[in-house]
């Protein structure tokens, strides 16, 4: 079942389930599993997710099952933000492989459903490959004509097969005759001969990476003393490496190759300045990355044909990374394990390279890994062992395991990674948590404390975990206390709560609780504290003003310990001479409330005077008192305020405000000005009589010499003691003398203005009546003339046939010759009916005649369309509606009705003018070999195109994906590529027509067809054939992504077929004497049958912008171009051959970027500065193109090797 059929099946299942829910009724149990886990592969150490979703998802709780066991979620396996998707962090080969399915549970109805299951495979490969000799059993048994059977041994999952193994002899992939690779990947030498004497290596290409045999297998019966380990060496950067051929006598030649299977490069002191060769000895003076390679020592005597292969590797060591560990290790955060439970940490480092150890920054040689605790190495344990593991052990040097954690497991652990390049350490701490232990000494009786005393509350903890994992907090009356609250502080990590100066608000119930990682909160018994506060008054005013004839309150608020009794007295001076006073109690109807407030009913003047409030604590017998003065009066009332005023600049402004009250109120003004803000004007603010703004005691505000800044809103308010009265606002507007005069005269002009308006409206109404009358008169006159004309026609019919009389008017020239094209048009559209000739002096151009159209409208203003915005080949439909109007424009209309399209079109029409001039410049009427009849045949109605989405931005316009109706025989709708010419630069127009010429003249199954053109409106469009599987580069990238198990692998034969089809297509292009200029995988389309078609999408301004180099207005693919095209702008079929070689490299190299180590500017600088292609810099620049994959055939390899740097 294909991927598309599978999606259709899932969609059908979803629709059936939705209908079932609707028919049966949406109950609490009415849900189904929409998403479920699929089979997946994940590389060990990487993260992966498994989907699960129930619809509808209300009240749904998800659980996951792994190998028939419910998963207990932790830092390794957990649910995502949607609470349904299972995430696995750092997949592990021992924990995570198996069958997964999810269970959706409705929390309301307790109804559950089980999803389909999916299988998870964890892929891995051990970083060790070695060659084992299976036959004979001992090396001493090797003899001429004997049999040798070699095995390339590696451990991986999935298992290593023949397709993963590559064999090499003396560094070359061509094995000598008499050797055969068997079905299980072993190498069989059926009869040993001298041709087989040499060095054998093997390379394993696995889904997780690649690894070769570090130590070769040496087959040399003449010298059995050769030790294979001596031919593989590592050295640190900057050190000296000395290689010596194992034979004493003879003349030797040294060669070098970077990787197994690469071509040999003869060595000399000129080409390799850091290398010195003296006879059989080769010395690398300063080891660096350029010295990391294979070195071949070969006897110049062809009869002896002795060969030795040395592998020299640059020893490197790298620091630990945070993502190597699961869970992640932070500098200040320990690994926490609960006491009695299992825990540990996993160390994941990928030691198998995808490119090379240096490029992938992998330690080389493979480092030794050790774990230690308290200066003792942690023992290693083999999972295949039958014995019980130690309580603390290490598995495969990768996983630290702590079983049944104890308190003495707490401490610092060290992981060490070392090789010849150096040693790296990583320290991390492990903390063991456990519940706290409290004592029973907490007193249940409340503690009494006087105000301003100090107190310490103890949490009474006997045993607790470390301070890093456990914190102690306190609550007061159930609310957490901040650590540094006023008068409260923590001591001894919160175990002690200290009250510095006790206040009444500190009274309450205190309780300590412990938070430990991995546990819920633990509470000790509460402790009650009572603060005996001092007796005192709170917030009492000494002077109180009450309004006459109204009830009033005099407050006497107190606080203190225990019950407080409040009394009120009125103070009388019984003896004014001796200053004696008398206290009278408060009589009814006045009363004293429970909170000590004195309520006076209907306050009168005689209620004025001094009152005494006395408070007594019934617990401590403490007494305090307070004297309050009461004033009885009338609330201020504003009687008069000036109205809004408009004054002239420079005059005097007078604002009145009259208020009454008892006692007499004080009047003030507020000035609210946008410039100066709010300004308070009071009587006390008057500095002198000369102040420009002056407020008098009667409330009048006078502002002399008014300025424009005095324009503001003025507010008057009156106050006596604590009562306030505010009246409405006065808006003051200040005008200049000219404005003030115009405003005064404006009232006089108002009446004249009304008369003028009446006259103008009357004239307008009279004019409308006149127009209507003339329209009616002309209509009756037209009807009368038409009736007379019909009568005349009937009379002419009676005279006989009038066809001969009409012919000279319709189609002939009185002077003889051809009909005038400006007067008679008889063309037909592509799909419209045949029109008879008519007399029409206004040109009406048929849709399918671009020549006729340009003949009449060559200089007219055509409708233009603005630019659209494209995106990735994964179709973006966000801007379809914007381009829909462009690509689906209706057929051309007469000139008078075209103005309504001008608003939707671009302001640049020179591109279309250039196009028309280019097409009509010759008598043949076309570009190259394309005549006007071909143009008519290719012209396609623009309105028949339906935009599907954007593919990208090209050099001269946008590239879209669209559907075209009836553009190909046998298809009602076809998926096509539409390229638009959006720019008016001459070079863009020239390139547009060059591609049009190339595609129109090419007739080949491996080149996309030009299906149609739209050039009657801007932008001009090319309609090209499209293939369902998109461009080749995206296709190969999708196949490289192995997250989708439905995608197959491309075989060697399929890749070769693609290269052959490209070659045939390019041969056809060169046969018609055309040059493609941009041959690359991105410009090749793929059909579902894996056939290819060469196209010219040219998405250089969007998704593939990084693969192009821009020099001013010119954009060109510098990595696919030969040097003569880059430096001298010379293009030829030979330059397309160069691009073909790079394209083949893309196909066999999984679409990697050519020369990825260099930026575009660096490539250009190297080519410009180097006069020869054999220069060292040029050879270094093309080094990654030399890495042709081993499965590339010899024929194709020979084509690629024709590139000059070989």
Q: Any idea which residues carry the catalytic annotation? A: 1078
979 labelled binding-site residue: yes
- What is the spatial distance between Cα 105 and Cα 501, in angstroms, rounded to a whole number? 56
**Contacts from 893-901 at CB under 8 Å and sequence distance 24+?**
894/842, 894/843, 894/844, 895/842, 895/843, 895/857, 895/860, 896/842, 898/862, 898/863, 901/863
- Which uninterrupted H or E stretch holds 712? strand 712-720
- What is the spatial distance between Cα 717 and Cα 727, in angstroms, rounded to a whole number? 6
Q: How many residues make up the chain in this entry?
A: 1206
- Which uninterrupted H or E stretch holds 918? helix 910-919
Question: Who's near 66: CB < 8 A, 6+ residues apart?
Answer: 96, 98, 99, 100
- The 3-state DSSP class for residue 856 equals helix
Question: Who's near 385: CB < 8 A, 6+ residues apart?
Answer: none
294-309 CB burial, b ≥16 within 10 A, e <16: bbbbbbeeeeeebbbb
- What is the spatial distance between Cα 877 and Cα 888, in angstroms, rounded to a whole number? 16
| 649 secondary structure, DSSP code | T
Beta-strand runs (E) in 1047-1195: 1084-1086, 1092-1094, 1109-1111, 1114-1116
Backbone angles phi, psi at 209, to 5 degrees: 150, -165
Q: Please, how many CA atoms are within 13 Å of residue 1001, restricted to the half-sphere of its CB?
A: 21
For residues 59 and 106, the answer to whether their CB atoms sit within 8 Å is: yes
Bridge partners (DSSP) of residue 950 are: 876, 960
Backbone angles phi, psi at 276, to 5 degrees: -120, 130
For residues 1146 and 1055, the answer to whether their CB atoms sit within 8 Å is: no
- What is the spatial distance between Cα 532 and Cα 541, in angstroms, rounded to a whole number? 26
User: What separation in angstroms does the CA of 56 have from each of 7, 33, 79, 1086?
Assistant: 20, 9, 19, 40
User: What separation in angstroms does the CA of 1083 have from each of 1001, 1030, 1095, 1151?
Assistant: 18, 10, 5, 13
Strands 623-641 and 543-547: parallel
| 227 secondary structure, DSSP code | -
- What is the spatial distance between Cα 12 and Cα 484, in angstroms, rounded to a whole number? 63
Beta-strand runs (E) in 464-592: 470-476, 479-480, 488-491, 496-499, 508-516, 522-523, 527-532, 536-537, 543-547, 552-554, 558-559, 564-575, 580-585, 591-592
- What is the spatial distance between Cα 1010 and Cα 935, in angstroms, rounded to a whole number? 11
- Which uninterrupted H or E stretch holds 8? helix 3-24
Q: What's the order of all strands across the beta sheet hosting 130-135?
A: 130-135, 148-153, 187-189, 179-181
For residues 867 and 879, the answer to whether their CB atoms sit within 8 Å is: no
Q: Residue 916: is it exposed, middle or buried by C-beta count within 10 angstroms (0-12/13-18/19+)?
A: buried
CA angle 268, 273, 274 (to 5 degrees): 110
- The 3-state DSSP class for residue 70 equals strand
Q: Residue 1024: is it exposed, middle or buried by C-beta count within 10 angstroms (0-12/13-18/19+)?
A: buried
311 labelled binding-site residue: no
For residues 232 and 218, the answer to whether their CB atoms sit within 8 Å is: no
Q: Which residues are annotated as a binding site?
A: 979, 1082-1083
Q: Which residues are annotated as a binding site for Mg(2+)?
A: 1083
Q: Which residues are annotated as a binding site for ATP?
A: 979, 1082
């Amino acid at each position: 079942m294909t991927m598309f059929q599978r999606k259709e099946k899932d969609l059908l299942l979803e629709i059936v389930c939705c209908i079932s829910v609707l028919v049966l009724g949406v109950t609490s149990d009415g849900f189904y599993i929409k998403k479920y886990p699929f089979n997946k592969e994940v590389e060990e150490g990487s993260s992966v997710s498994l989907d699960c979703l129930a619809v509808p998802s209300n009240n749904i709780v998800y659980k996951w099952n792994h190998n028939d066991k419910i998963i207990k979620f932790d830092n390794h396996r957990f649910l995502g933000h949607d609470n349904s998707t299972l995430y696995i962090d750092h997949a592990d080969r021992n924990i995570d492989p198996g069958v997964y399915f999810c269970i959706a549970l409705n929390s309301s109805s307790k109804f559950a459903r089980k999803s389909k299951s999916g299988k998870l495979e964890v892929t891995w490969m051990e970083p060790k490959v070695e060659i084992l000799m299976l036959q004979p059993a001992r090396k001493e048994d090797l003899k001429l004509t004997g049999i040798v059977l070699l095995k390339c041994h590696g451990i991986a999952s999935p298992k290593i097969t023949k397709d993963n193994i590559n064999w090499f002899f003396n560094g070359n992939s061509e094995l000598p005759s008499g050797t055969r690779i068997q079905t299980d990947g072993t190498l069989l030498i059926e009869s040993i001969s001298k041709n087989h004497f040499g060095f054998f290596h093997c390379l394993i290409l696995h889904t997780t990476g690649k690894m070769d045999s570090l130590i070769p297998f040496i087959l040399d019966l003449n010298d059995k003393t050769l030790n294979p380990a001596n031919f593989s060496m590592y050295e640190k950067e900057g050190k000296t490496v000395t290689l010596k051929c194992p034979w004493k006598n003879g003349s030797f030649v040294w060669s070098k190759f970077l990787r197994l299977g690469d071509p040999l490069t003869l060595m000399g002191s000129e080409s390799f300045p850091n290398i010195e060769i003296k006879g059989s000895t080769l010395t690398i003076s300063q080891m660096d990355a350029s010295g990391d390679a294979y070195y071949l020592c070969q006897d110049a005597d062809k009869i002896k044909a002795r060969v030795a292969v040395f592998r020299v590797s640059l020893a490197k060591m790298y620091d630990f990374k945070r993502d190597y560990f699961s869970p992640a290790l932070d500098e200040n955060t320990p690994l926490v394990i609960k006491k009695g439970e299992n825990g540990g940490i996993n160390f994941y480092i990928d030691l198998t390279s995808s490119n090379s150890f240096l490029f992938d920054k992998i330690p080389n040689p493979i480092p030794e890994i050790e774990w230690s605790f308290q200066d003792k190495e942690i023992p290693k344990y083999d999972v295949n062992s039958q014995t019980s593991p130690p309580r603390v052990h290490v598995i495969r040097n990768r996983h630290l395991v702590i079983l049944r954690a104890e308190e003495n497991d707490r401490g610092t652990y060290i992981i060490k990674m070392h090789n010849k390049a150096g040693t790296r350490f990583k320290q991390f701490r492990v903390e063991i948590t456990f519940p706290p232990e409290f004592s029973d000494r907490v007193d249940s009786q409340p503690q009494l404390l006087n105000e301003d005393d100090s107190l310490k509350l103890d949490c009474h903890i006997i045993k607790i975990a470390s301070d890093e994992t456990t914190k102690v907090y306190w609550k007061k009356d159930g609310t957490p206390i901040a650590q540094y609250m006023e008068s409260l502080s923590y001591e001894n990590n919160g175990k002690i709560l200290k009250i510095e100066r006790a206040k009444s608000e500190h009274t309450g119930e205190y309780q300590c609780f412990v938070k430990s990682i991995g546990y819920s909160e633990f509470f000790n018994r509460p402790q009650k504290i009572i603060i005996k506060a001092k007796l005192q008054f709170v917030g009492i005013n000494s002077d109180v003003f009450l309004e006459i004839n109204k009830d009033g309150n005099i407050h006497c608020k107190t606080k203190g310990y225990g019950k407080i009794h409040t009394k009120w007295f009125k103070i009388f001076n019984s003896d004014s001479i001796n200053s004696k006073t008398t206290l009278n109690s408060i009589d009814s109807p006045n009363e004293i409330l429970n909170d000590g407030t004195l309520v006076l009913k209907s306050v009168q003047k005689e209620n004025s005077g001094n009152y005494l409030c006395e408070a007594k604590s019934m617990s401590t017998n403490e007494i305090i008192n307070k004297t309050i003065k009461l004033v009885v009066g009338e609330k201020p009332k504003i009687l008069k305020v000036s109205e809004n005023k408009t004054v002239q600049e420079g005059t005097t402004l007078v604002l009145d405000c009259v208020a009454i009250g008892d006692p007499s109120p004080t009047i003030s003004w507020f000035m609210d000005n946008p410039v100066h803000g709010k300004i308070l004007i009071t009587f006390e603010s008057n500095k002198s009589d000369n102040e420009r703004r002056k407020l008098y005691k009667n409330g009048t505000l006078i502002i002399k010499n008014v300025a424009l800044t005095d324009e503001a809103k003025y507010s008057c308010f009156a106050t006596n003691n604590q009562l306030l009265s505010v009246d409405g606002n006065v808006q003051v507007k200040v005008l200049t003398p000219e404005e003030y005069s115009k405003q005064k005269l404006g009232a006089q002009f108002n009446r004249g203005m009304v008369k003028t308006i009446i006259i103008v409206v009357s004239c307008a109404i009279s004019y409308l009546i006149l127009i209507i009358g003339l329209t009616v008169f002309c209509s009756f006159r037209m009807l009368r003339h038409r009736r007379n004309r019909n009568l005349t026609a009937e009379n002419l019919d009676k005279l006989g046939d009038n066809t001969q009389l009409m012919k000279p008017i319709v189609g002939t020239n009185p002077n003889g010759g051809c009909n005038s094209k400006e007067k008679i048009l008889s063309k037909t559209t592509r799909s419209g009916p045949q029109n008879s000739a008519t007399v029409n002096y206004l040109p009406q151009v048929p849709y399918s005649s671009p020549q006729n159209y340009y003949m009449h409208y060559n200089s007219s203003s055509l409708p233009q369309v603005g630019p659209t915005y494209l995106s990735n080949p994964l179709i973006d439909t966000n801007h379809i509606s914007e381009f829909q109007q462009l690509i689906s424009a209706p057929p051309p209309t007469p000139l008078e009705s075209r103005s309504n399209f001008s608003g939707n079109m671009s302001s640049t029409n020179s591109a279309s003018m250039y196009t028309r001039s280019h097409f009509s410049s010759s008598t043949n009427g076309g570009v190259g070999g394309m005549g006007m009849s071909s143009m008519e045949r290719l012209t396609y109605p623009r309105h028949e195109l339906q935009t599907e989405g954007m593919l990208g931005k090209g050099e001269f316009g946008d590239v879209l994906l669209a559907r075209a109706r009836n553009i190909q025989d046998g298809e009602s709708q076809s998926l096509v590529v539409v390229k638009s010419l959006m720019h008016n630069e001459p070079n863009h127009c020239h390139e547009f027509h060059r591609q049009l010429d190339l595609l129109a003249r090419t007739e080949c199954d491996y080149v996309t067809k030009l299906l149609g053109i739209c050039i009657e409106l801007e932008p001009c469009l090319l309609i090209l054939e499209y293939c369902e599987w998109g461009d080749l580069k995206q296709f190969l990238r999708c196949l490289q992504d192995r997250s989708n198990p439905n995608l197959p692998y491309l075989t060697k034969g399929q890749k070769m077929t693609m290269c052959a089809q490209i070659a045939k297509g390019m041969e056809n292009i060169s046969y018609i004497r055309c040059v493609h200029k941009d041959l690359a995988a991105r410009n090749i389309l793929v059909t579902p049958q894996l056939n290819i078609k060469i196209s010219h999408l040219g998405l250089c301004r969007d998704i593939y912008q990084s693969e192009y180099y821009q020099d001013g207005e010119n954009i060109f693919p510098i990595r696919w171009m030969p040097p003569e095209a880059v430096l001298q702008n010379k293009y030829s079929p030979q330059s397309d051959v160069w691009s073909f070689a790079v394209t083949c490299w893309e196909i066999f190299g999984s679409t990697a970027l050519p020369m990825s180590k260099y930026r575009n500017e660096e490539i250009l600088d190297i080519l410009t500065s180097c006069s020869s292609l054999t220069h060292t810099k040029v050879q270094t620049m093309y080094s990654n193109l030399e890495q042709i994959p081993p499965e590339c055939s010899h024929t194709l390899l020979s084509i690629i090797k024709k590139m000059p740097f070989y």
